[in-house]
Structure 1
Amino acid sequence: MRKFSRRAAIGLVATGLVLSGCGRDAGTSADKAKDVGAGKISGTVTVWAMGTEGEQLGAFAKEFEAANPGVKVVVTPMGFDVAHDKIISAIAGGATPDISMIGSTWMGELAKTGAVEPTPSNLIDKSAFFPGSWETVLSGGTAYGVPWYVETRAFYYRKDLADKAKVKAPTTWEETQSFASAVKAKAGASQGVYQNFRVGSWQEVVPLVWQAGGEIVEGNKWTFDTPQMVSALTQFQSFYKKGTAPNKVAEGAFPQNFIKGEAAAFYSGPWMIYGLDKDGGAGFDQKYDVAPYPKGSAGGTSLMGGGDLVVFKKSKNRDAAWRFIQWLSDPKTQVKWFQTTKGLPAVQSAWQDPALTSDKRVAVFGEVLKTAKTPPPYSTWEQVARVLEGEIQKVALLKTSPAEAAKVMQQKADDIGTGL
C-alpha cells in the first residue's frame, strides 16, 4: 500500500539536513538557466530513481535510446528510505548522477545546496504543467527541475454502503459528517470516515486549511495560529468527537478496513484504485467510487504531490540529461508512462488521452489536480511537518483543543523557521 508519499510524493523521509557548509553557493533566484543544444547527443546518462520508477525506468528508456543512437540511459533503483540521504551524501562528495528523481517537497533543501541546475527555458515550457506541480520545482522564484508525474487526494467511498444508508458522496464539509453518521447508523460501518492521525497526518489537515480559506505560510512566516487552521482542526476532530472516525484503530488496519466494509470512506491518492481492485477481489470495483474533495467555505482544494526530476551541476552529460527529461515530459511519453506505472501525468494535455479519460475514477483526479496546491518549498518543511503531526495526533485523541494545537504549532514552527 502506498501512503500519499509512496512515490516520494511528499518526501516524508527527508531529514531536514541542508548542506550550507559544503563549499557551494546556495541556489538563488539570480541563478541563470543555460540553454540546451539542439544538436545530436551521445554518451551515458546516469539516473537515480525510487520505487516503481526506479524499477521500470531503465526498460522504458529503451525507446529514447532507439531515437538517439549513441545514448545510453543507466538507471540506479533505490528505496525511498535511503534516497534522500544518498542524494545529500552524493552532493557533499561531489559524486552526483546526471539526473535524480526527488520528492516534491525536497526542492527547497536541494536548491539551497547550489547543486542542482536551473531549468532551461528553451527546452521546458512551464505552462504545459499543472500550476500546482510547477510550484514543486520552484525555489526563490527560480525553477530547478521538472515535474515528472503528479499525485493528489480525493474522497474514496463505499457506494454499496452509501446506497444502503440512502446518502450520496458528500460535496461539503457538513455533508461529510452527515455521510459518516448515516453509514455508521444505517449501513453497519463502524468507521464512517477513516482519517490518518499518525505519520503523514499533516496531509489530512493542510488541505482543510486551504479549503477554509487559509494558508500555512505567508511571506517568510509560518501561519498556523489562525482562525482557518482552528477551523480545519475542528473539522478534523469533529469525527473523533462524534465517533464517526475511530482513534483507536491499530496501525496496519487500513485499507483492509475499507475492503471489509468497516470503514466507509477515506482520503487518498490514485494508486489506491489499483490496489483496491486487486485486493478487494472480483466485483469489488463496483462497490466503491471516487469523488472530489468535499468543499469548505473556500472550495475543495487538494494536496499536490508527485515526483520531480533534477539535473545536477556536476553532470557529465548535461545536454543529453535535459533532452531525456524533455522526452519524459512529452505528452505522448507521459501517457505511456501512466500505462506502464499508473503514475499520473504532470503535463495537462496528456489528460485528453483516452487512457486517462476512459476510467471515470482516474478522471476525477485530473479535475482535482487543476486546483491542487503544494506545501512551501522550504528546507525546513519536513521538520515543521513533524511538529504538525504531533499536535494532530493529540487533536485526534481528544487530548488538546484545535485552538491550543494551533498555538503550539505556531510556536514550534517559529522556533524552527523557514530556512530562508
Structure 2
Amino acid sequence: MSADSSARERVRLAVIGLGAISQSVHLPLIRRNADLVELTAVVDLSASRARQIAEASGTGVIAFDSIEAMIAAVAAGELRVDGAVLATSGSHAPDVARLIDAGIRVLAEKPLAFSVADIDALREVAAARKVDLADWVRVGYMKEHDPASAAAKSLLEGVEVRAVSVEVLHPADGAQLAFANLQAAPTDVPADLVSSLVAATDATVAAAIGPVPAPLPKLYTNVVLGSIVHDIGLLRHLVGGIGTVDRARHWGHEFPGSLSLGGHLAERTEVPWSIDWHFIPRYPQYRETVTFHHETGTIALTFAVPYVLNAPTVLTVIENAEPLGARRSETRWMQEEAFEQELRSFAALAAGHPEPGPSVDEGAADIVVGQRMLRTLADAIGSPIGASTEAGASEGRPVAVPPHHDHL
C-alpha cells in the first residue's frame, strides 16, 4: 500500500460466509490489521454461528443470516460497509452483483462463478451502475500477492521458458485444519434453504457444462474450479496463462482422486504445461510445487498449506555457475503473508484507491480455461460435452486479459 495509507480512515468490512477460510484466515487477519480495517458485520446462513462470531469479535459487530438483511441495514443507514469479503460456497458472481448494486466493493473467494453467464449478468449490473469492475472487485487469488510469486514473475520475464509443470498433493481438509479450532458445523440452517441453494448451483453448472455423467460435474466444481483454478490463475499471472488443453485423465478410487492435465501456454504457444493434482486423504501435508524450466536453469515455487498463516512459500532458483558448475538458492519471506497482502490491497480498493490485482476479467478467463479442462476430460472418458454449452464452446472464447489489468 502507498505511504499515506496510515493516514486514511479505517475501512469498514463485512465477512460473508463464516466457514473454514474465514475462521482460519480472514477474521484473524482483519484483527491483525486493525490499523487499516474494522469488522462491522458478519453474515452466515447459520444465525447462531453469525451471532457467536460477532460476539467474539468485539462490540459494534452486527450479525446477519443473509446478504439481503445486511444490505437492507446499509440502505436504512443502520450500518456502514465499505467492502465485503465473500467466502460463501457456490457461484459468487450473483452475490457480487447484489453487493455492487448496494455500493459495496467485494473481495470474492475463488471461483468467481461456475458459468460465463453469471459473469455476463454481473457485468450488466456494473454497466447499469456505470462502475468499472476493476475498481470494485477482486478475486481471492492470494498466490498473486505472495512475495515469492512476485520474485518469480520478475525472474521469468528475463528467461526463455521451455516447460511448466505443477504438482499438487492434497490431503483431506481435516488434516490441514486441525490447528484452527473451528466451530462445530451448525445445525440451525433450514434444510429447505440448503436444498434450494444446491439446486440453484446444480442448475448453473448444468447450463454451463450440459447433462454430463458423474463424476464430471463434481470434478468441475470441487476440483477444477475449486482447487486447480488457483494454478490456472497463477500461470496466467506469471506466464500469460493456459491456452490449449490437449490431454486430461482422471483416476483413483476415493473421490476426487487424481487429475492429470496438459497442453500449451496461451502467449508462449510452443511451451507445454502440465498439472498433476492428487487428492490423497492421508498424505502427511499439503504441498504444491510450480516449476519453470528455462534455457539456463529452473525457477520453482513450493507452497505450503494455505490455511496456516505465515507458512512461507519457498522460491528455488537453479542457475549456471561457470565454469562447469551449478548454483542452487532458496529464499523464504518469513514476515510476509500472501493473504495479508491481499487484504491490505483490498482495503485500499474499498477506500477508493485501487491497486493492480485480479478482477472480473481475470476470473472469467480462468473459468473458460477450467471449462476447456473439463471438455477435454469428458472427451477422454467418452462422454463429450455438447457444443451448445459454455464448456462445449470454450475453445472459441478468449482467455487473454486487457493490458490495463496488469497484476501486482
TM, length-normalised to structure 1: 0.34
Q: Which has the higher contact order (CA 8 A, sep 6+)?
A: 1
